[in-house]
Chain A
Amino acid sequence: MPDFEALIQRWRKGDERAAETLYNHFRDSTFRLAYGLLGDPSDAEEAAQDAITYALVNIHRYDHRRASFSTWLHTITVCRCRDRYRRNRLKKFSLTAWIGGEEGLPDPHPGPEHHAIHAETSSQVWKAVQGLNPPLREAILLRYWSGHTFREMADILGCPVPTAQSRVRLAYQRLRATLAPTELVHLEEEESR
């Protein structure tokens, strides 16, 4: 595990290699968090890239006494993903469809990786998590995927600790209700293999 504080200090002095090390270390985890939140690989990549770039460009704003670098980065990532939710909500309104076309303009280059990723992540749990509303999805991912404490989650989500706790509980209850008993048996079987 690299010494992040030393890397951050080196980057503040202009050492680009330190920035690259930080980037490479946090790239995958940030992308996966964004992917879990957005459910779309290209959106997730943009949000994650944007978050890491913002963190590196504004490294002078990071205060290690307030939060770890990963907590700070995840805060930025969640903000970027929320921006995406809003933009995607706007996208749902299609002017061409409204005027008379059957559908909006499709993405001409969805890319094979897009299909591959969707095929890989089509488990029932994944679908159930994607079916949660954004605040609950954020809570469950920060807790289950990133392993943040409730204190850290409260900082990231910008809410009181009890709210973060109740969101995780509520998300779990929703997942429990959504996952059919047959799927739970299937999960159990996979677990025992």
Chain B
Amino acid sequence: MNSHLTDEVLIGNIHRTLTDAQREAMVRHLTDCPHCRARLADHKALQQRIRNSLLADLRAVQPSPGMRFATITPQVPGDKKAALWRLSRQLFPVAAALAALIGLGISLMDLPESIVRLYASPKPTSASSLSALACVFFAVTAVGNYRESRFIQLRSSLFGVLAFILWAGTAVVGLQVIVVVRDVLFWIMTHVSDNTQFALALGNWALIPLGLVWIAVVIGGGEYHYNRLGQRISWQFFSWTIVGELCILILSNFI
């Protein structure tokens, strides 16, 4: 008798990948070789068991109730009117983000002066008003994406651009927030004690921990949004960040 069949041939047989000639040779060998017949039976049984176990594992799982047609309805094309409405809805957050960027750009002109000035402004500056307005537009951008499906691969690049604008925008507004917090601290200290020099020093020294917090939030937030790009939770986090910043900016109106 020839030497026994290789595992390669037996596995090829159970997966039906043998050529006709190979299969014929194998059948001829199996006729006279109970050892190889037993090995083939073992392979067949194992393959069947693996298949059955895999099928059972996969049949045991179900998609969540959130995975339904209604989720993607806004993304699938309907008539022209609906398509136009969808397009305008998609462009709205982009337009809001651009408006916010312009407002923020103008307000930034005042930022260097705000940082270096050695006393708190008794009145809200035009910069903080513009930043607050930019925040409102950023919030519109973030909230405008709440209902967008994150499943659309084609839109992931747009989500990426919007998320980047929001991340950079909130980071820049964060710098202005630091200045406002410093001014608030200065204002509180001047009202608590008459020592203006001490209040000034405290306000300026506060820039260091505030700056460290800012760096941590910018880096950590960037990673958070990168890992959840386009997801509702990311837009929500942006919204809360913007609301927080907006509250602090508005606070400057009361000092």
Contact = CB atoms under 8 A, between A and B. Distances in A.
Q: Do A and B come from one complex?
A: yes
B11 A172 contact: yes
A41 B61 contact: yes
Nearest to A175: B50
A28 B150 contact: no
A126 B52 contact: no
A35 B52 contact: no
A75 to B, nearest CB: 14
B17 A49 contact: no
Most buried by A among B55, B76, B154: B76
B146 to A, nearest CB: 16
Interface in A82-111: 83, 91, 94-96, 99, 104-105, 108-109, 111
Interface in A122-176: 123, 125-126, 129, 140-141, 143-145, 150, 165, 168-169, 172-173, 175-176
Contact of B76 (A53, A80, A111, A117): A53
Nearest to B16: A150
B45 to A, nearest CB: 8
Contacts of B55: 144-145
Instruction: Report whether over half of chain B's contact residues are helix, strand or loop; otherwise say mixed.
Output: helix
Contact of A23 (B49, B51, B72): B72
Interface string B78-98: 110000000000000000000
Interface in B1-30: 7-8, 11-12, 15, 17
A125 B51 CA distance: 9
A187 B151 contact: no
Interface size range of chain A in the complex? 35 or more
B75 A53 contact: yes
A113 B63 CA distance: 9
Contacts of A175: 50
A70 B51 CA distance: 20
Contacts of A123: 53, 56-57
Interface string B179-221: 0000000000000000000000000000000000000000110
15 contacts: A14-B79, A32-B59, A35-B58, A49-B67, A49-B151, A53-B151, A105-B224, A121-B58, A123-B53, A150-B17, A168-B15, A175-B50, A187-B50, A188-B49, A190-B53
The 4 closest A-B pairs by CB, nearest first: A125-B53, A49-B151, A50-B151, A165-B17
